[in-house]
Amino acid sequence: MLRSLLTPRWLLLHALFVVATIATGFLAVWQWDRAHEAGGSFQNLGYALQWPLFGAFTIFLWIKLIRMDFAQQRGEAEPATSAGAEDGSSTAEAVSEKPERRRSRPLVPPPAPPVDSDEDPELAEYNRYLAGLDQSDQRTS
């Protein structure tokens, strides 16, 4: 699995993240020195404290991308072997099929229960108003 981190794509990403992290370090030192010069201000001091946070975020993003790549590699290998074993299809067919992603919630929420005028008169009136707008919109369409 670690060999996948040595592909040309990942070597370029490693170089990019290393350069970005080093650059944020240099920028932090530059702003720190600038804050202590005669023309420096609190803004330079703020930037000097902000650049290391950007560098930490760069490292966090780097680690997150590596973990996502490993999870994707593990996730694609498991359904391909299980799909071929279940229905007896060949492994080439199982690899070409993508596993279904289940949604944790429906795309369209279920309709709200109707409100009687006795329960909440304002809400019932508002719902009638919205229903009227919907009907007039459907007539014009």
- Residue of higher predicted confidence among 102 and 10: 10
Q: Which pLDDT does position 55 carry in this prediction?
A: 95
For the chain, give the percent of residues with pLDDT over 90.
35
Q: Does pLDDT of 83 surpass 50?
A: no
User: Which of 29-33, 67-71, 91-95, 97-101 shows the lowest mean pLDDT across its residues?
Assistant: 91-95
List CB contacts of 46: < 8 A, sequence separation 6 or more.
none
Q: Does pLDDT of 84 surpass 50?
A: no
Q: Which pLDDT does position 81 carry in this prediction?
A: 45
Q: Does pLDDT of 117 surpass 70?
A: yes
Q: Which pLDDT does position 57 carry in this prediction?
A: 96
List CB contacts of 91: < 8 A, sequence separation 6 or more.
80, 81, 84
Mean pLDDT, residues 26-55: 92
The DSSP 8-state label assigned to residue 113 in this structure reads P
Q: How confident is the model at residue 79 (pLDDT cuts 50, 70, 90)?
A: very low
Rg (CA), the chain: 29
| Residue 80: closest CA among 60, 94, 101 | 94
Q: Does pLDDT of 104 surpass 50?
A: yes
- On whether the CB atoms of residues 51 and 31 are closer than 8 A, the answer is yes
Q: Which pLDDT does position 115 carry in this prediction?
A: 80
pTM (predicted TM-score): 0.51
Estimate the share of the chain in helix, then strand, then coil, as percent rounded to the nearest 5.
75, 0, 25
Mean pLDDT, residues 27-41: 90
